[in-house]
Amino acid sequence: MKPRYLIGLVLIIVIAALSFMMLDESSIEYADLDRAARLGKTVQVVGTWVKEDGSSYDAASNLFSFRMKDEQGKQIDVVLEGAKPNNFEIATSIVVKGRIEGSTLKASNVLTKCPSKYEGQASDLKAS
């Protein structure tokens, strides 16, 4: 094997290893609240908003807080850095990205999943 190929091969392996490490570092696992508490790092939690407990946005601190329930039914208070996410109220489920600190889930992002987003439904049709 020619030395140039060898150098190339080594370079490719180094780059591949580095990028895999970065990928691993940057990947954010989907977890339920129990696992999120155990891991103690940033994860994504799929669940629903506990509507009965309401939600509030504090404009002064720019924090949006609400209570969520994960797919196992466990509940936690969520504090999101930022305003109320789009479509929060009509979302059928939410994906909260954040980490558990003490008794609250400190969220950096909340994605909302809507029933076929912006898609028409038969119930929207009105006769002429």
Partner 1 sequence: MIGQITIHVLFATALMSTLLYFLSIKAGDTYARVARGLFGLLTLGLLGAATGLIILILQHRFEYTYVQSYSSTELPLHLLIATMYSGQEGSFLLWTLLVAVIGVGLQPYARRHGYESQAMAFYGLILCFLTLLLVAKNPFAYVWETYARDGVAEGFVPQAGRGLNPLLHNGWITIHPPILFSGFAAMSVSFVFAMAGLLKREYHRWIDVALPWTLFATAVLGFGIMLGGFWAYETLGWGGFWGWDPVENSSLIPWLVSVALVHTMLVQKRTRGLVKTNVILAVAAFVMVLYSTFLTRSGILGDTSVHSFVDPGKFAFWILLLFMSTFTILGIVLVMRRRVDMNVNREEFSPRTREFMLSIGAAIVMASAVLVTIGTSWPVIMEVLGRPKVAIAIDFYNKVHIILLPAMLLVNGLSLLVQWRATTVSSFKRGLVRALVISLVATALSVLLGARDFVSILLAFGAWFSLVINGQIVLALYRRAPSTLGAYVSHAGIALLVFGIITTANYSETHHAQLVQGVPSKVGDYTLTFEGKEQVEKEFADREKFEYAIRIVGNDTDKVVKPVLYWSDFNRRQSAFLEPGIRWGLMNDLYVAPKAYDTEDVEHRTTVRRDTTYRVPIDSAVALRFVGFTMPMTETPAPDGRMRMSARLDVTVGGEQLDSTLRVPTRLTQGAEGMSFEQEWTLIPGTTIEVGLVDIKRNNADPTKSTGDLVFRDTSKPAPVARDIFTVEFAVKPLISLVWFGVITMVLGFVVSIVRYGRGKQRPPVGVAQDTPLAGTEVSAKAEASDTDAQQS
- Per CB under 8 A, 1 contacts partner 1: no
Choose the stretch contacting partner 1; rule: CB under 8 A; options: 39-47, 69-77, 99-107.
39-47
Q: How far is the C-alpha of 70 from the C-alpha of 121, rounded, in Å?
A: 28
Which stretch, 67-75, 77-85, 99-107, contacts partner 1 (CB under 8 A)? Answer: 77-85
Judged by CB under 8 A, which stretch of 17-25, 68-76, 99-107 contacts partner 1?
Answer: 17-25
Q: What tokens were used for 44?
A: 């994504």
Number of residues that bind partner 1 (CB under 8 A): 46
- The least CB distance from residue 120 to partner 1, in Å, is 4
Residues whose CB falls within 8 Å of the CB of residue 96, separated by 6 or more in sequence, listed in order? 44, 45, 47, 68, 78, 80, 105, 107, 109, 110
